Structure formats: structure tokens, C-alpha cells
Amino acid sequence: MNPDSAGARHRSEWVPGLVILLVTVGVITAGVRIQRVLEASKPSTPILFDHGLTPLTLRAPSTWTNQQCGTCHPRAFEQWQGSRHAAAATNKKFRVECIEPIGGRRQWCINCHAPTNPSAGHLPTQEPVGLDSLFSDQPRWLVNGVDCLTCHVRDGKVLATRITSKGEAAHPLRLSPELETAEFCGGCHQFAFKSDQYGDEFHGQLQQVSMEEFLDFRRGGGSEQNCQNCHMPAGDHLMPGGYNNEMLKQSLDLDLDARWQDQPGGINVSISVIAQGVGHRLPGGEHFRFLSLHTNLRNADDPPRQYTLAEPTAEQLPPPAAAGQVQEVTDWPRIQIMRRNPGPRERGRSPGADAVPDTRLFPGERRTFRYFVPANTVDADSPLVISAELWYHKMGDLDARRFGFETPEVIHTVLRKEQAVRRGTGR
Ligand code: HEC
Ligand code: HEC
Ligand code: HEC
Ligand code: HEC
Ligand code: HEC
């Protein structure tokens, strides 16, 4: 065989190989370019939340964890650890409600309480994967609840209100003025009652109304621009609310005044509850929170009354008094409830049902209750003591029993005042 022709054949075998290689490289390069163009044109993941309807997609490197953010941002991490956001998916009440056949068992719940859950693509009404073992297995996304990644990471970038070169060197940043808006919080903190049957159905009034109430407050001249002004002073990630007694104490005040009068003989009692430094109705948040005001009259020698049960039945409650109206009181304690307790009408289930009034305090409101105690119903010649206590309830007694809480776990006394009253002394 001619060695030349062998070489030519060799070469002719070699050429198609080269062509294939070049074409492949070309295709890959073009592919990468197209990929980049597509990537750049992909809409960036929204920063604002949509009331739990769609699960959050982070598109972050899998090595990014909450704990890792904490190593470089220890202050924010510690504050967050003490917050309800950190406990959002593991607290007892959520756990119990989340696995209840009626109302719970929905992807919707964990989209807000543990938004980094892995169930992308699930409809809000679908049952989360492995729900029954979720709370015993406690995957990391559940334990972290509403975590750093939830609020700060989209498309592999850290959301920040300020871009610095030090920050960019640590991780890619995306300038996100949204973080400083009330809507950012409102995406999770306001929503309607959700049908457990239809994914697209909400019904009735809002279940949580924080955003609307805040907008009313701001329109009405409230000086705060957003939720963060009150809930994140100096960037504090504790974000305290009703679970924080300090926050409650600074937002409420109590005035008590009791005086004897001669004609007709008896005691005039005036008690005012004042809501201050709050940017929505009080209590805010979930509809099962409420306040109760307990007024009691006793002989000065008797020990203060020990209360055991908090929530009075409808029959035990005094009829609601018109503003400023004086109510004659002969039995103690006298209890007033400040609450929004949506019934079938408010929940949109039975439009003909009786309306349940929302009696919570307005921001800045001073609400006064006036009682008259007839002289013949008390031991008028002894020194008497009138006391008022304001209690915050994380939930009603029925719920507490259902979820296995002791009364002291769900109620705390926010404020207490007392005053001595003696006949003839004026006060
Ligand atoms: C519920 C949402 C939320 C969570 C959870 C959250 N942050 Fe923030 N973070 C914010 C908001 C909103 C701001 C902007 C506050 C402002 O500027 O008014 C912020 C600001 C910051 C800042 C810059 C401002 C400062 O003074 O600290 C850092 C750093 C930060 N967060 C880190 C973290 C880390 C780390 C975690 C997890 C431990 C975390 N955040 C969890 C909402 C959140
Ligand atoms: C290796 C350390 C490191 C890690 C890990 C880290 N950061 Fe940072 N981060 C920094 C530094 C440094 C800055 C710049 C701070 C400055 O400019 O004062 C910064 C800036 C920020 C800012 C803007 C701060 C501002 O003043 O507005 C936010 C928000 C933030 N990081 C959140 C996070 C979150 C969320 C994570 C986890 C996903 C994270 N960081 C992980 C080091 C880190
Ligand atoms: C991803 C959803 C989500 C976002 C965004 C979010 N929260 Fe929350 N927040 C929750 C959940 C869920 C809880 C309930 C935790 C629990 O189970 O008690 C909560 C609880 C709270 C509480 C109650 C604390 C208490 O002591 O009772 C406050 C206050 C609060 N958040 C403020 C904010 C503020 C301010 C922002 C905006 C900067 C914000 N949240 C953004 C989901 C969110
Ligand atoms: C002017 C200050 C102020 C503003 C503005 C404000 N809050 Fe509050 N918030 C408070 C105070 C004080 C409390 C504690 C009293 C209470 O529970 O209502 C509170 C309580 C809460 C609670 C817990 C309610 C409970 O008892 O379970 C939530 C949730 C909450 N706020 C969310 C928000 C959201 C969301 C916004 C913005 C849309 C906002 N707040 C705006 C002051 C404010
Ligand atoms: C759109 C977001 C969102 C969805 C969806 C959602 N929640 Fe919440 N949930 C919140 C916020 C915000 C709070 C805090 C309000 C407060 O503290 O008063 C809260 C508070 C709670 C609490 C009170 C926790 C405590 O210990 O005081 C329970 C329980 C709860 N949610 C259960 C559920 C269940 C069950 C579902 C599903 C049926 C659900 N949530 C759906 C946002 C959401």
C-alpha cells in the first residue's frame, strides 16, 4: 500500500473528528452565551411576600445557611434567636394547629412560618410532604422558622439597604429599599381567612389586619413611616410584640380614680386604659389575642383576690357601655374585654349571623370605664381598696386547654393599680 495514500486516508479520517470537535465547542460556547443572556433576562425573584400563596425560591448556593450568616453577623443573629420569627414553626401552638385536620395541614401555613421549606411548586391547599413526621424529625428549615435567608436572600444575592465594598467582598449584594417598607412586613402580616378547600379562595374579613391598621394610623398623622421604626429600632432583630412584656408595658397605661359621694351615697370609680406608641389596633396581630381589664373592690384587711380563670363566658360579661356611661356595679370583679373575635359572619361563612364588634383599642386611644358602687352594697365604714389589673392574653382559655397550655403560660398581667377609698375623705 502507498504510504502516502495511507497518510491521506489518515488525514481524511482526522478531519471530520476536528470538525465535530470545533462544532461541539462552538455549540457549547453559544449555549453558554445564550444561557447567560437568558439568565440576565430572567425576572429577579420578588422581594415582597405574597401572603403565603407561593413558596419562596431562594436560588442561593446550598452552602449558605442561617448559622453561617450568624458567624459574621453575631448581633443580628443573637437578637433573631430570641425572636418569635425564630420560633415561628416550632412553637407548640403552631405545631398543634398545623397538623389539625380542620384548618391546618396546609402548605400555606409553612409558606409563612418556615418559608425556606423545600416544597416549591406545591399549591397552598396541598398537604406538606411528610407532615406527620415533620415536627419529630425537625428539618433545619423548620427549626429556623422565619430566618435570615427568608428576609435577606434572593437569586444568590444578599438583600441590603446599603451597599458597601466590604459587604460586596463578603457576598453579592442587591440594593433593596423594599426592606424599609411596611409592605415588606405586610406580605406576611396581613391576610384573609383561607378556604381549606380551594387554593384560590379567601373569604370574609382579614384574619390579620396589621397593614391596613398601620396605614390608617399613618394617614391619621402617625409619625412612624413603617413597622421597622417601632419593631426594629437601630436594626434590632428581636422584633418584639405581644410576647414581650416590656413592649406591652410601654404601649399601655392605666389610670384609676375612685371617690366617695354623698348623694346618692356610694363610690364613683373611673378607670382609663391608654394605648400609646402603637401603630395599629391593640392587641395587633392574630385575632385570638385580647386584653382584659379586671376591677375589684375589697376591704383593706382582705388579701388581694387571686384570679384563677381569665376568660369570662358571654353571660358573665357586662353589657357593653356607651362611651362615658356610668354602670352601677354590685358584684366583683368587674371584667371588660378588648377583643376582635371573628364569628361566622366575619369569617364569611354565614353572612346573616350576628356581627361581633371589634373592641380593641385604637392607637392613641384613652378608653374610660365609669362605675358607681352604691353605699349599701359595701362595708361602707371600713377602709376599702379598689384595684385594676390589665391582662394580655396570648389566646383564649378554650384554645389554651385545647393546645395543652396552663393559664399562666398564656396570660400575663401587664399593669396593676390600686387605691384606698374611705367614706367622707373625698377619695
Ligand atoms: C423578618 C425579616 C428579617 C429577618 C428574619 C432577618 N432580617 Fe436582617 N433585616 C431586616 C430588615 C427589614 C432590615 C432593614 C432594617 C432597616 O434598615 O430599617 C434588616 C437589616 C439587617 C442588617 C443591616 C442593618 C443592621 O443594622 O444590622 C443585617 C446585617 C442583617 N439584617 C442581618 C440579618 C441576619 C444575620 C439575620 C438572621 C440571623 C437576619 N438579618 C434576619 C429583616 C430581617
Ligand atoms: C464571611 C463573613 C460574612 C458572611 C458569612 C455573611 N456576611 Fe453579610 N456582610 C459581611 C460584611 C463584612 C458586610 C459589610 C458590613 C459593612 O459594610 O459594615 C456584610 C454586609 C451585610 C448586609 C448589609 C449590611 C448593612 O449595613 O446594610 C447584610 C444585610 C448582610 N450582610 C446579611 C448577611 C446574610 C443574610 C448572610 C447569610 C446569607 C450574610 N450576611 C453572610 C460579612 C458576612
Ligand atoms: C416571611 C414572613 C414574615 C415576614 C416577612 C415578617 N414576619 Fe413577623 N412574623 C411572622 C410569623 C410567622 C410570626 C409568628 C411567630 C409565632 O408563631 O409566634 C411573626 C411574628 C412577628 C411579631 C410578633 C412578636 C411577638 O412577640 O408577638 C412581630 C412584632 C413581627 N413578626 C414583626 C415583623 C416585622 C416588623 C416585619 C418586617 C420587618 C416582619 N415581622 C416580617 C412572619 C413574618
Ligand atoms: C408606632 C409603633 C408601631 C408601629 C408603627 C407598628 N407597631 Fe406593631 N406593635 C407595636 C407595639 C407597641 C406592640 C405591642 C402591643 C400589641 O401587642 O399590640 C406591637 C405589636 C405587634 C404585633 C404582635 C401583636 C400581638 O399581640 O400578637 C405584631 C404582629 C405587630 N405589632 C406587627 C406590626 C406590623 C406588621 C406593623 C407594620 C405594618 C407594625 N406592627 C407597626 C408598635 C408598633
Ligand atoms: C401570610 C402568612 C401566614 C400564613 C399563611 C399563616 N400564618 Fe400563622 N401567623 C402569621 C403571623 C404574621 C403571625 C404573628 C401574629 C401575632 O403574633 O399576633 C402568626 C401567628 C400564628 C400563630 C400564633 C403562635 C403563638 O404561639 O402565639 C399560630 C398558632 C399560627 N399563626 C398558625 C398558623 C396556621 C395553622 C396556619 C395555616 C392554617 C397559618 N398560621 C398560616 C402569618 C401567617
Q: Which ligand is nearest to the CA of 77?
A: 1
268 and 346 co-located in one domain: yes
* Cα–Cα distance for residue pair 226/107, rounded to 1 Å: 29
**Residue after which a domain boundary falls, among 184, 209, 234:** 209
Which pLDDT does position 317 carry in this prediction?
Answer: 58
Q: From the CA of 423, how far away is ligand 5's center (Å)?
A: 51
C-alpha cell of residue 332:
366583683
174 and 255 co-located in one domain: no
- Secondary structure letter of residue 177 according to DSSP: G
**Residue after which a domain boundary falls, among 190, 209, 228:** 209
Q: From the CA of 11, how far away is ligand 4's center (Å)?
A: 79
Residue 104 within a domain: yes
Q: From the CA of 144, how far away is ligand 1's center (Å)?
A: 15
> Residue 328: beta bridge partners?
372
148-173 pLDDT, tens per residue? 999 999 999 999 999 999 999 999 99
The H or E element that residue 296 is part of is: strand 290-299
Q: Whose CA is nearest to atom 32 of ligand 2?
A: 158
Residue 319 within a domain: yes
Ligand 4 neighbour 278 (Cβ under 6 A): yes
325 and 375 co-located in one domain: yes
308 and 204 co-located in one domain: no
Residues of the chain short of pLDDT 70, as ranges, are 1-16, 19, 23, 26-27, 31-32, 34-42, 196-200, 307-323, 424-427
Q: From the CA of 282, how far away is ligand 1's center (Å)?
A: 25
- The amino acid sitting at 14 is W
What percent of the chain is predicted at pLDDT more than 90? 62
Residue 45 within a domain: no
> How many independent structural domains does the chain possess?
2
Nearest Cα residue to 52 out of 99, 122, 140, 103 = 122
Q: Whose CA is nearest to atom 15 of ligand 2?
A: 167
249 and 390 co-located in one domain: yes
Residue 415 within a domain: yes
The H or E element that residue 24 is part of is: helix 3-41
149 and 205 co-located in one domain: yes
The answer to whether 180 touches 199, Cβ cutoff 8 Å, is: no
| Strand 366-374 versus strand 326-328 pairing type | parallel
274 and 202 co-located in one domain: no
**Residue after which a domain boundary falls, among 187, 209, 231:** 209
> Which atom of ligand 1 has the smallest separation from the CA of 80?
38
265 and 126 co-located in one domain: no
The H or E element that residue 411 is part of is: strand 411-421
Ligand 3 neighbour 95 (Cβ under 6 A): no
pTM > 0.85: yes
| Mean per-residue pLDDT of the chain | 88
Which pLDDT does position 241 carry in this prediction?
Answer: 96
CB proximity list for 411: less than 8 A, separation 6 or greater: 310, 391, 392, 393, 394
* Cα–Cα distance for residue pair 80/236, rounded to 1 Å: 8
> Where are the strands (E) in 300-404, listed by range?
326-328, 334-339, 366-374, 384-393
250 and 379 co-located in one domain: yes
Q: Whose CA is nearest to atom 37 of ligand 1?
A: 148
154 and 299 co-located in one domain: no
Residue 330 within a domain: yes
Residue 61 within a domain: no
Q: Which of 226, 228, 231, 340 to mutate to test the pocket of ligand 4 (most atoms within 8 A of CB)?
A: 231
Q: For residue 123, what are the CA distances in angstroms to 7, 46, 52, 128, 427?
A: 66, 18, 10, 9, 64
245-263 pLDDT, tens per residue? 999 999 999 999 999 998 8
Domain that holds residue 253: 245-421
290 and 364 co-located in one domain: yes
201 and 153 co-located in one domain: yes
Residue 270 within a domain: yes
Residue 97 within a domain: yes
